[in-house]
Amino acid sequence: MTKEQLTTESNILLALFRATVEQSSFLNGQLNQKPKHIFNVWQKQGYELLDQLEKRNIANEEYYEAITDVIHNIIKGIRDESNNVHDNVQKD
């Protein structure tokens, strides 16, 4: 894998991680103790990974933030479509 490919794949992974963490905020207070603990450990390790990749110049914050925005837009579309399906099912 070339350095450019490694950077692209790393930034996509980081954007997915960031979007997952941000999406999880919708569930704050809804998870019981064990899932919450597992998520907190995973989140801490993810931020550590992010720091390490940034130190190695594999992560580009501006780039993965832009990718994260795309992911958030996709999630919004999924949420909207899910609401439409739910509304249509209730009408039947």
Q: Model confidence over 48-70: pLDDT tens digits? A: 877 787 787 777 788 888 998 99
* 34 closest CA partner among 22, 42, 26: 42
Give residues with Cβ within 8 angstroms of 12, minimum separation 6: 64, 67
pLDDT tens digit string along 13-34?
A: 888 888 887 777 777 677 788 8
Q: Given pLDDT bands bounded at 50, 70 and 90, which one contains residue 92?
A: low
